[in-house]
Amino acid sequence: MILPETGRAARFIEASVSVLRVCVSGEGTILATNAQAEALIGEPLLGLSWDRMLLNFAGTPVFSEWLKNPARPRLLSVRTAAGVPQTLRITVEKEGEDYILFGEVDSVEQARLGREVLELNGELNNLSRELAHKNAELAEGLREKEGLLRETHHRVKNNLALITSLMRLTAGRSVTPETKAALLEMQNRIHSVTVLNETLYKTASYTSVRLADYLKQIADHVFQAQAPKGGEVRLVLDLNPVEVATGQAIPCGLIANELMTNSLKHAFPGGR
């Protein structure tokens, strides 16, 4: 039993059967409690504000305003040491300038809350099952999508390689320099598309491309294929790290291919 120095809370007896008995001043300060109250809340309450023992004390009105509510008895959800809210039926008695709050377990309210908890648990279980089912469907759809992307990539890669091989064979059989040059230029253009296809597949990003990396691969390929012999011409690249949409990368690659091809073909006549 915890008593104040004055005798204003003499009715607080150690053998009290109430779950909670608290003496509160008119300003809302706790003046005394029974042992059950402090055991329930899990901390000393003497001298604290009355709302300290409530579940959501931050949003609770001041004690004087709460007293104006004519409802008798009242229901309050108090916080417990175990972390589980406890609904109590509160009756208030005036003693001098102070108030005594008697709290008893409200079995009807507790039963209602118990039913709500069970219903909520059931709804959560249903939602968990639905979520697991949806996740399984999404995972299966993702696996199908990845399989289709791999199949598409390999088909495009094989078709481009086949076209390039046919052009290389045709160029090897041709005796006309102009035809060989034209077929080589076409191979370089196809290579630009092949590089983009490989880049998209390896990075698993199908909406954007790192333009600097893409153009570097094209430039290296064209330079190796058409650079003048002798090593007097060097390839120097100054590329900014820019990302562009896939639809923009293809024309950029083709333009870079054409510019480099024409530069290597016409800018260094006789190997100069």
Report the DSSP beta bridge partners of residue 75.
89
Each residue of 246-259: pLDDT tens digit? Answer: 788 888 888 888 88
* pLDDT of 144 higher than 60: yes
User: Three-state SS string across the chain, please?
Assistant: CECCCCCCCCCCCCCCCCCEEEEEECCCEEEEECHHHHHHHCCCCCCCEHHHHECCHHHCCCHHHHHCCCCCCEEEEECCCCCCCEEEEEEEEEECCEEEEEEEECHHHHHHHHHHHHHHHHHHHHHHHHHHHHHHHHHHHHHHHHHHHHHHHHHHHHHHHHHHHHHHHHHHHCCCHHHHHHHHHHHHHHHHHHHHHHHHHHHCCCCEEEHHHHHHHHHHHHHHHHCCCCCCCCCCCCCCCCEEEHHHHHHHHHHHHHHHHHHHHHCCHHHC
pLDDT at 251: 85
Residue 57 has pLDDT above 70, yes or no: no
Give the tens place of pLDDT for each residue, 149-162. Answer: 777 777 877 887 88
